[in-house]
């Protein structure tokens, strides 16, 4: 067992967590609402669960958690040297989402990237990949791979009547790793044994399923988790939190009992009871809760059906204190079962015939910095801001090349209107059918004066999200977040929307 030292035994600094964040969607559905619809609720121990919005997916949730983790750690995205991302529910089955995730955040194009998928173990596998890279596995130590950003996000789903779907939640967690982070990621271990059919998703399907043999599922989970923790060699008597994978509200406790650990080590940090099964994000989310609660020794275990598990020990430096954390969206807004089905796209008509205004992917990409990170242009002659940064200066008419300026992510609504589902442009109809009426606001973003340029303001038209548009008024403070805009030609366009500041 490690002794909490910040070195790896050779005198080299061990990798530590410098900041962490967890984020979940706003919508919630309670077990009673599902039980009323089906006459039963088959997710043991789940009281409510988080539901992804009409414009949310694993990539947008990952961006939210990652941004908050970087802010908590005080690390600029442009300093990140390694980005790893794990999810079992990527937006596309074949495409690496890490370049786009990095673009949302401003991570340099030269940073190394690792994308893990195909299993709920993907979140802890992303952590393992970042540690391997930082510690130079197979090579000499690579100091320029830090800071590293580890992100996990998921929104599993099954058939609406199935136990898998009754448990399925949505959420994301992110960690920032540095050479001097106060929470050391020390010992680690793995364990894998053949248990086919415990949980799977067939090719071309969006729905997870299982064989429904609870004793078999339980045996696979307990044996695999116990094997990984045993290989870790950590004395659980000294641990004060177990951040375990939680497919439902019973399995993590059965594993804890098999390990001889107290149930409180799980119950005080697991998200499964109030947010549901967070898939690949589940153990890292529990870790964030443990750090936020001041736990000093945390055993983290990620499990994936098949079956395999990763186990880690995280030890907080008693002299340095816990790393800063940001937990967003622990509370939410309840939705009915009909609204739940609509948000998931179960009861919509789909895109209208003929589509909408066609914007090619290359054209969209050319404006990605403005869309992803609100990059405006400052006039070199008069310092006025232009958004988007193209054409002549709106103040002096100069045609000189604009200097890029990233706008702050908080602004003030100048004007707002509501778009009803029937009045939405064709490309936005699927979103409107799922999420209902949405607002479109003109938002003023103020640039503060600094040593490189003067103050200024840019007015930007953006969709509103996470709110009733009727309750959004001029003068309200809002913050910009990454969300899905619409999908054409099979490719989703992402960009900034605004929501009320919490």
pLDDT of 259 higher than 70:
yes
Average pLDDT over residues 134-141: 60
Separation CA 116–CA 80 (nearest Å) = 18
In this prediction, residue 351 has a pLDDT band, given cuts at 50, 70 and 90, of low
In this prediction, residue 273 has a pLDDT band, given cuts at 50, 70 and 90, of very high
pLDDT of 371 higher than 60:
yes
Q: Name the nearest CA neighbour of 483 among 6, 67, 47, 70.
A: 67
pLDDT of 16 higher than 60:
yes
Q: Which residue has the tokens 């596309």?
A: 92
Digit-coded pLDDT (tens) for 434-470: 888 899 999 999 987 655 555 688 999 999 999 999 8
Reported as type and span, the H/E element at residue 128 is helix 122-134
Show the domains of the chain with their CATH numbers.
16-343 (3.40.47.10), 361-500 (no CATH)
Q: What is the largest CA-CA distance in the chain?
A: 73
Provide the 8-state DSSP code for 93.
S
Separation CA 432–CA 425 (nearest Å) = 10
Q: Which residue has the higher pLDDT, 320 or 115?
A: 115
**Cα angle 271-170-486, degrees, rounded to a multiple of 5:** 160
- pLDDT, position 449: 63
Digit-coded pLDDT (tens) for 206-258: 898 888 888 999 999 999 999 999 999 888 888 999 999 999 999 999 999 99
- pLDDT, position 10: 43
Cis-peptide, bond into residue 176, ω within 30° of zero: no
Specify the pTM: 0.91
- pLDDT, position 294: 93
In this prediction, residue 349 has a pLDDT band, given cuts at 50, 70 and 90, of low
Check: CB of residue 82 under 8 Å from CB of residue 149. yes
Check: CB of residue 294 under 8 Å from CB of residue 305. no
Q: Name the nearest CA neighbour of 166 among 12, 261, 283, 31.
A: 31
- pLDDT, position 356: 57
Average pLDDT over residues 166-178: 96
Tokens linked to 122: 């993907």
pLDDT of 359 higher than 80:
no
- Give the length of the chain: 502
- For 5-128, strand residue ranges (E) read 16-23, 27-30, 48-51, 82-86, 112-116
Looking at every residue in the chain, the average pLDDT score rounds to 89
- For 279-402, strand residue ranges (E) read 297-304, 306-316, 325-328, 333-334, 375-378, 385-386
- pLDDT, position 432: 85
Task: Work out the burial of residue 77: count CB atoms within 10 Å of its CB; fewer than 13 is exposed, 13-18 middle, 19 or more buried.
Answer: buried
Separation CA 59–CA 23 (nearest Å) = 12
Backbone torsions φ then ψ of 486, nearest 5 degrees: -165, 170
Q: Which residue has the higher pLDDT, 302 or 348?
A: 302
């Amino acid at each position: 067992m490690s002794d909490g030292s910040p070195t790896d035994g050779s005198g080299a600094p061990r990798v530590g967590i410098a900041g962490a964040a967890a984020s979940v969607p706003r919508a919630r559905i309670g077990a009673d609402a599902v039980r009323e619809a089906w006459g039963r609720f088959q997710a043991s121990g789940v009281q409510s669960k988080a539901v992804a919005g009409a414009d949310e997916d694993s990539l947008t949730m990952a961006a939210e958690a990652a941004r908050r983790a970087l802010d908590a750690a005080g690390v600029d995205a442009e300093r990140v040297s390694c980005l790893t991302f794990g999810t079992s529910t990527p937006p596309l089955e074949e495409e690496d989402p890490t370049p786009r995730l990095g673009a949302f955040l401003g991570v340099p194009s030269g940073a190394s990237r690792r994308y893990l998928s195909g299993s709920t173990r993907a979140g802890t596998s992303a952590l393992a990949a970042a540690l391997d890279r930082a510690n130079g596995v197979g090579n000499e130590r690579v100091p320029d791979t830090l800071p590293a950003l580890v992100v996990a996000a998921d929104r599993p789903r099954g058939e609406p009547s199935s136990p898998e779907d009754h448990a399925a939640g949505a959420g994301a967690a992110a960690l920032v790793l540095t050479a001097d982070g106060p929470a050391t990621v020390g010992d680690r271990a793995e364990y894998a044994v053949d248990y086919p059919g415990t949980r799977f998703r067939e090719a071309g399907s969006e729905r997870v399923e299982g064989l429904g043999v609870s004793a078999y599922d339980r045996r696979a989970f307990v044996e695999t988790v116990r094997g990984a923790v045993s290989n870790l060699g950590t004395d659980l008597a000294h641990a004060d939190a177990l951040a375990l994978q939680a497919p439902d509200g019973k399995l993590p406790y059965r594993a804890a009992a098999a390990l001889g650990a107290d149930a409180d080590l799980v119950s005080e940090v697991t998200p499964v009871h109030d947010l549901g099964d967070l898939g690949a994000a589940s153990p890292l989310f529990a870790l964030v809760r443990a750090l936020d609660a001041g736990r000093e020794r945390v055993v983290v275990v990620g499990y994936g059906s098949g079956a395999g598990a990763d186990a880690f020990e995280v030890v907080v430096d008693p002299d340095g204190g816990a790393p800063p954390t940001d937990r967003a969206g622990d509370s939410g807004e309840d939705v009915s079962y009909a609204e739940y089905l609509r948000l998931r796209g179960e009861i919509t008509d789909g895109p209208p015939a003929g589509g909408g205004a066609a914007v090619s992917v290359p054209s969209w990409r050319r404006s990605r910095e403005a869309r992803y990170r609100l990059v405006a242009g400052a006039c070199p002659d008069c310092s006025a801001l232009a958004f988007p940064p193209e054409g002549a200066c709106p103040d002096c008419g100069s045609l000189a090349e604009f200097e890029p300026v990233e706008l702050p992510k908080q602004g003030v609504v100048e004007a707002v209107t509501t778009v009803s589902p029937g009045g939405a442009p064709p490309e936005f109809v699927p979103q409107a059918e799922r999420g209902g009426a949405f607002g479109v606001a003109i938002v003023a973003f103020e640039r503060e004066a600094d040593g490189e340029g003067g103050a200024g303001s840019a007015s930007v038209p953006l969709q509103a999200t996470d709110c009733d548009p009727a309750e959004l008024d001029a003068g309200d403070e809002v913050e910009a977040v990454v969300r899905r805009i619409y999908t054409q030609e099979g490719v989703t366009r992402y960009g900034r929307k605004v929501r009320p500041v919490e």
